[in-house]
Amino acid sequence: MTQIALVTGTSSGMGLQTAVGLAVAGVRVVATMRDLSRAGDLQAAAKAAGVTVDVRSLDVTDPQAAARCVDEVLASYGQIDILVNNAGRGAVGSLEQLSMDDLRAQLDVNYLGVAGLTKLVLPPMRLAGRGRIVTVTSVGGAVGQPFADAYCGAKFAVEGLMQSLAPVVARFGIDVCVVEPGPVASEFVANLAMVGAAEDEPGSAEVDASAPYAEMQRAYLVRSRGVFTGAQTTDAAAAVIIEAATSDNPRFRWQTSAAASAFVGLSLADVDGSRVLAQTSTWINPG
């Protein structure tokens, strides 16, 4: 029986590659994105791979739209076997710089949107006695990082949610996984909301020199540019997401590279927190 996958955030990057890769693997893919005018790259990639995907509109932060999308997919296919929660967005800023709206925006897309969509697919999966829920988090879901307060906070929250959910829904044949990419060469960095920058625009890397955190923030951005210069490719990261979604031997936690595994392991083995802080503190030292 052909499996049906619902994948969010598929207009570019890992989401696009995941949607196409699942289709190549024989899964019927419903690929969603907020803005359907950006579907061209996905459709071109699917055509080049010799597959088709069912492209639909979905803003994961809109609960009514999410419920409508799930209902329509069930009406079309009668089942949802795989959910890939990939849609997400980052923000750069320390807590004092962040507004409450900044914090809520990160929770809306990276935590509440994921929780809401997952909640919607659980009943049909439970009744079917099978299902796979894969949530793309980040190494930032295991390791808190300077100036990623809102982003890491939301990613920590969604990992806690999924780790708590996993043993319960496993009793109904539903596997829950998180995938933790490290730096990936995608549009994610360009879409960052830069708080405390000279111009508060997505992707801005100009730090306001008068800000109290300016020197540390500038050092962090210099380091980040270097890290993302050698970032993992989107197709390599997507291959791990696809494996997590389709493997006959699922596990809860997946990383997309050896470097990501080492970084996540640093935190998971750091009982008193000293090893992580010793490393991340160096990221904000002025050059």
Ramachandran angles phi, psi of 195, nearest 5° = -90, 135
pLDDT score of 189: 52
Active-site option among 77, 111, 151, 220? 151
Q: What is the pLDDT of residues 246-276, one digit of tens each?
A: 999 999 999 999 999 999 998 888 888 898 8
Name the burial class of residue 119, with classes exposed (0-12), middle (13-18) and buried (19+) by CB atoms within 10 angstroms of its CB. Answer: middle
Q: For the chain, what are the domain ranges?
A: 4-189+233-284
Query: Which ranges of the chain have pLDDT less than 50?
Result: 196-205
CA dist 94 and 263 (Å) reads: 21
pLDDT score of 68: 98
Strands lying side by side in the sheet with 82-85: 54-57, 28-33, 4-7, 82-85, 131-136, 174-180, 253-255
What does each C-alpha distance from 156 to 22, 111, 224 come to in angstroms? Answer: 27, 9, 20
CA 175, 178, 181, 182 torsion: positive or negative?
A: negative
Please confirm, yes or no, whether 213 is among the known catalytic residues: no
CATH class of 4-189+233-284: alpha beta
Angle at 137 between CA 254 and CA 14, to 5 degrees: 85
Q: What is the pLDDT of residues 46-91, one digit of tens each?
A: 999 999 999 999 999 999 999 999 999 999 999 999 999 999 999 9
CB atoms within 10 A of CB 272: 7
pLDDT score of 188: 52
Question: Tokens 């997919």 map to which residue?
Answer: 73
Query: Which residue, 11, 168, 175, is CA-closest to 88?
Result: 11
CA dist 41 and 217 (Å) reads: 34
The whole-model pTM stands at 0.90
CA dist 55 and 154 (Å) reads: 27
CA dist 135 and 113 (Å) reads: 11
3-state SS class at 101 = helix
